[in-house]
Amino acid sequence: MVEPINISTSSHEHLTLLDLQLMVRATLESRFTDPVWISAEISEMKVNRSGHCYLNLVEKGKGEGAPRAEARGVIWKSTYANISRKFAEATGAQLSTGIGVLLRVVVTYHEVYGFSLQIVDIDASYTLGEVERRRRECIEQLQRDGVWDMNRELTLPRPTLRIAIVSSATAAGYQDFMNELRRTPYRFRTELFGSLMQGEMAEDSVIEALHHIAEREEEFDCVVIIRGGGSVSDLALFDSYRIASHIAQFPLPVITGIGHDKDTSVADLVAHTSCKTPTAVATLLCEMADMEMATLDEYSYKLRDMVLARLNNERLTLERSSSEIARQSVVVVNGMQHRLTNIEESITTLVRTLISGEEQRLKSHLMVVEQSNPEIILRRGFAIVRDADGCAVDIQNIEPGSDVSIEMAAGVIKANVKSKILR
């Protein structure tokens, strides 16, 4: 229990501001005689020309809202080089804003500058643990949301040639990526959606770029997010829940190439495909194009072989058909010849029959004609009456007084009609 300090003052006997400040300083220095370890987050950091490092330390509330506590800190030039070197060796990153740190501090108070913390040491393992804790919480939240596998379940279009790129236009990683694509014979269509890749505005910038791509998703086959290597704090951007959640739920397959070989971010884990570097992403796209070309070549060879085989089969079929047609033609011709012979014989027989029948009819007609011969009729006792002109006449046409001749078998009688009696 800290004993309270009893100070008696009045309007007549008061303290000056300096007196109060000195008393506060004496009290703090008497209570904090040894350095203490504290955890905080660096919200601001500046190294001045003299080599001293000035920081602003905060402890944020729930949901990373308004700070619950805030204090100034300083690392004097005499210790800054050693502290920053140890931190970089342990974490692979430089001290920077936005990271959690465990610091050994001396509590100080100055009459003019007020309360501050003199930093004399830093435990880098805490920062690594803090990064890993945030990373683990992000992964668990994505899995609870049910979006962890969504982007990996998408199918990359074939071929993958229309590429939307999220990167900084001036980044070396972006230049490496484009140079690698230009070395290939394929006509990739790329469009850069420029984004910040570090700093306080980087998260919003990346998400904004993704929104712009989503509005035109039908124009692209996939999204490539690339960034070269950087510090742990720089690459922590891609352990952001917001960025990872957007990638996981993005309507197009996302390919990441973030950091170096040893770096794997949450964004890499939820992306459709993860490559170690921007150049590796370009190499992957080229290899996929190579595979498509190899597949097309294979199909072309198969198609050629199938066409040749079909042509050979059709040639054999034509040859067999030709032989069969020739054979069938001989059979048909022989059959037709035989049929013509039969028809000829039938026609001959029919003609003969017809001729024979007509001959019989003619004979019959001749007999009738012969039977009608006037000479034969006259020999039967008949006579033919002719008028003066020699034409045979009927009794109806003979008038009394007319001269007629009566022809009989034995001769002709010339007579004059006296009268006629009709029956």
Give the 3-state DSSP-derived string for the chain, with helices as H, strands as E and coil as C: CCCCCCCCCCCCCCCCHHHHHHHHHHHHHHHCCCCEEEEEEEEEEEECCCCCEEEEEEEECHHHCCEEEEEEEEECHHHHHHHHHHHHHHHCCCCCCCCEEEEEEEEEEECCCEEEEEEEEEEHHHHHHHHHHHHHHHHHHHHHHCCCCCHHHCCCCCCCCEEEEEECCCCHHHHHHHHHHHCCCCCCEEEEEECCCCCCCHHHHHHHHHHHHHCCHHHCCEEEEEECCCCHHHHHHHHCHHHHHHHHCCCCCEEEEECCCCCCCHHHHHCCEEECCHHHHHHHHHHHHHHHHHHHHHHHHHHHHHHHHHHHHHHHHHHHHHHHHHHHHHHHHHHHHHHHHHHHHHHHHHHHHHHHHHHHHHHHHHHHHHHCCHHHHHHCCCCEEECCCCCECCHHHCCCCCEEEEECCCCEEEEECCCCCCC
Amino acid (one-letter) located at 86: K
- The confidence score (pLDDT) of residue 260 equals 60
Check residue 63 and give its pLDDT: 55
Amino acid 298: pLDDT: 85
Q: Which residue has 């400040």 as its token pair?
A: 21
Assess whether pLDDT exceeds 70 at residue 64.
no
- Residue 198 is predicted with a pLDDT of 82
Please name which of 196, 192, 254, 199 lies closest in space to residue 222, comparing C-alpha atoms. Answer: 254
pLDDT of residue 312: 92
What is the pLDDT, as a whole number, of residue 375?
Answer: 76
Predicted pLDDT at 236? 75
Confidence of residue 124 (pLDDT cuts 50, 70, 90): confident
Confidence of residue 73 (pLDDT cuts 50, 70, 90): very high
- 67-75 and 222-227 as β-strands: parallel, antiparallel, unpaired? unpaired
Question: Residue 220: what pLDDT?
Answer: 96
Let me know: does 42 contact 57? Beta carbons within 8 Å: yes
Average pLDDT over residues 375-395: 80
Tell me, what's the pLDDT at 255? 96
Token representation of residue 24: 């506060």
Higher pLDDT, 319 or 423: 319
Instruction: Report the share of the chain in percent with pLDDT over 70.
Output: 95
Provide the token pair at 277. Answer: 């570097």
pLDDT for 398 beyond 90 = no
Of 78, 67, 77, the residue nearest 44 (C-alpha)? 67
Among the listed ranges 20-29, 103-112, 121-130, which one has the minimum average pLDDT value?
A: 121-130
CA-closest candidate to residue 127, choices 94, 98, 100, 90? 100
- The reported pLDDT for the residue numbered 3 is 67
Confidence class of residue 392 from pLDDT cuts 50, 70 and 90? confident
d(CA 371, CA 377): 8
Contact partners, residue 40, CB within 8 Å, separation at least 6: 57, 58, 59, 69, 71, 100, 101, 103
**Closest of 247, 201, 242, 210 to residue 98, by C-alpha:** 201
Q: Which residue has the tokens 């001989």?
A: 330
Which pTM does this prediction carry?
0.54
pLDDT band at 231 (very low <50, low <70, confident <90, very high): low
